[in-house]
Amino acid sequence: MSDYETIEVRPMSERCGAEVLGIDLGGRIGNRQWDEVRRAFAEHGVIFFREQRLTPEQHLDFARRWGPIDVNRFFQAVPGYPEIAEVRKEPEQKTNIGGGWHTDHSYDAAPAMGSILLAREVPEHGGDTLFSSMYAAWDALSEGLKETLLALRAVHSAAHVFGEKGGYKQAAAGGPQFKNAALAVGEVSHPVGIVHPESGRRALYVNPAFTLRFEGWTAAESKPLLDFLYAHAARPEFTCRFRWREGSIAFWDNRATWHYALNDYHGDRRVMHRITVAGSMLG
């Protein structure tokens, strides 16, 4: 039975995600309600809200309650709101943004803590987002593999995605939605099994979009183990799936989850506003 008193929290699946009901994110949120929202976020890794028709200012106010905003340097911003990234796919576009398993900003030395995605315009069918719990993925590994991974760091980069020769630049219709390709350079490394800075729980921290290799290993040497970890972390029992409506919000923890935006709505428009909240170095 749920022990929340000021909100209703309905888990989306056994290990990942919960819908939060009984709260107006554009209204006044009292301390007790706020503590419970924070607890739901920590427990479920990603939380979902419905019918939140926030103005961009209200969206920003909600984000700032969690921490400073981490302005994404590669996404085009919503006009007039440099801190809000636009995640848009037009009817004639074939490529979508985020159409593969990833976690946002793992290419940064201090990756974003969370992302708050608000649906502005959604297709009638399709365009759902999948999430997977990296706590569940870590927990389900054998003790032997955990021990091996605890000795490893992985190298991450944005260059092959947002850079001059990156995937989005090559995608015919994807290019104009991004900027600053010249800034997508360099590499950073993070532990493969991070200790989550707030929960203290261990989570798997590699992802197919931005992880290049294990530190000190070649890409070819890293590939078999990374491929195993990617297949493992995407196991359906670690995941949940969110069906968007206009005004829906997903708020995910980038250190505890992956996400995947399905690209199954060609011919329709989908427009989302995303704010990322700054995080810290990972240990």
Tell me the C-alpha to C-alpha distance, in Å, between residue 47 and each of 14, 58, 161, 190: 14, 18, 27, 25
Q: Which stretch binds ligand SIN (CB under 6 A): 2-10, 97-105, 146-154, 178-186?
A: 97-105
| Residue 12 touches ligand SIN, criterion: CB under 6 A | no
Burial class (CB within 10 angstroms; exposed 0-12, middle 13-18, buried 19+) of 177:
buried
Tell me if residue 3 is catalytic.
no
| Residue 104 touches ligand SIN, criterion: CB under 6 A | yes
Can you point out the beta strands (E) in the chain? Answer: 8-11, 18-21, 46-49, 77-78, 81-89, 114-121, 129-133, 153-156, 188-191, 193-195, 202-204, 211-214, 239-242, 249-253, 257-261, 270-277
Q: Which is nearer to ligand SIN, 7 or 261 (CB)?
A: 261
Q: Which stretch binds ligand SIN (CB under 6 A): 45-53, 96-104, 169-177, 186-194?
A: 96-104
Tell me if residue 259 is catalytic.
yes
Q: Which is nearer to ligand SIN, 15 or 274 (CB)?
A: 274
Among 13, 72, 106, 129, binds ligand SIN (CB under 6 A): 129
Tell me if residue 273 is catalytic.
no
Residue of 105, 202, 259, 273 marked active site: 259
Q: Which is nearer to ligand SIN, 117 or 229 (CB)?
A: 117
Q: How far is the CB of 171 from ligand SIN (least distance, A)?
A: 15
Residue of 44, 59, 88, 104 marked active site: 104
| Residue 103 touches ligand SIN, criterion: CB under 6 A | no
- In degrees to the nearest 10, what's the CA dihedral of 61, 74, 207, 264? 90
Active site residues: 102, 104, 259, 274
